[in-house]
């Protein structure tokens, strides 16, 4: 699967990645060493996450990040 990240808000991308893993917020949170509440806050845009955290999440879940210039 792939998505064009430019078409989404950061919180939507995190939720999509979690849904791709087929994990609940609680189980996903355990994989990234955060609480379920933190994952929920990421998904609702209440808490911003760093690019470093985004890359960590992707690496842990086998998501390849490609930056492409038009």
pLDDT tens digits, 34-52: 999 999 999 999 999 999 9
- Is 69 domain-assigned? no
Rounded-to-integer distance, Cα 48 and Cα 53, Å: 10
Q: For residue 32, what is the domain's CATH number?
A: 1.10.260.40
Rounded-to-integer distance, Cα 5 and Cα 2, Å: 9
Q: Which domain holds residue 19?
A: 8-60
Tell me, what's the pLDDT at 35?
A: 97
- Is 70 domain-assigned? no
Tell me, what's the pLDDT at 2?
A: 85
Is-contact 16 8, C-beta < 8 A? yes
pTM of the model: 0.87
Percent of the chain with pLDDT over 70: 100
Task: Examine the pLDDT at 63 and tell me if it is beyond 90.
Answer: yes
């Amino acid at each position: 699967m792939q998505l064009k990240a430019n078409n989404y808000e950061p919180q939507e991308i995190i939720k999509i990645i979690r849904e791709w893993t087929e994990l609940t917020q609680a189980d996903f949170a355990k994989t990234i060493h955060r609480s379920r509440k933190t994952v929920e806050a990421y998904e609702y845009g209440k808490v911003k996450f760093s690019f470093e955290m985004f890359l960590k999440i992707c690496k842990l879940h086998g998501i390849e990040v490609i930056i492409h210039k038009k």
